């Protein structure tokens, strides 16, 4: 699968990530086919400086999109 980039503008982390993922939803669905597990690798390096870490709402949006097409094991790892 070739790399795909999607960019969106939004006032919230959740909606911005969700909008971007909707633009590449077909590729996400295809990429999940046949997988036995999925790893989500956010950057949770700091709990005090949010700018240096993946916002929790961004992770929620990613999980919401993946759950539409995948019912297997999802691991969130740091």
CA 31/CA 34 separation, integer angstroms: 8
CA atoms of 39 and 67, how far apart (whole Å): 13
- Contact criterion met (CB below 8 Å) for 29 and 35: no
pLDDT value at residue 18: 96
pLDDT tens-digit readout, 27-42: 999 999 999 999 999 9
Q: Distance of CA 39 to CAs 29, 34, 75, Å? A: 15, 14, 5
Q: In the predicted model, what is the mean pLDDT of residues 48-54?
A: 77
pLDDT digits 0-9 by tens, 58-78:
999 999 999 999 999 999 997
Q: Provide the residue ranges of all domains of the chain, joining segments of one domain with +.
A: 13-76
Taking every pair of C-alpha atoms in the chain, what is the biggest distance, in angstroms? 38
Give me the count of residues in the chain.
78
Q: Taking 90 as the threshold, does the pLDDT of residue 50 lie above it?
A: no
């Amino acid at each position: 699968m070739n790399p795909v980039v999607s960019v969106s503008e939004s006032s919230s982390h959740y909606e911005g990530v969700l909008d971007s993922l909707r633009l590449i939803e077909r590729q996400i669905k295809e990429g999940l086919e046949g997988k036995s597990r999925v790893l989500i690798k956010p950057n949770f390096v700091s709990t005090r400086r949010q700018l240096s870490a993946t916002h929790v709402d961004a992770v929620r949006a990613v999980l919401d999109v993946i759950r539409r097409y995948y019912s297997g094991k999802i691991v969130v790892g740091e």
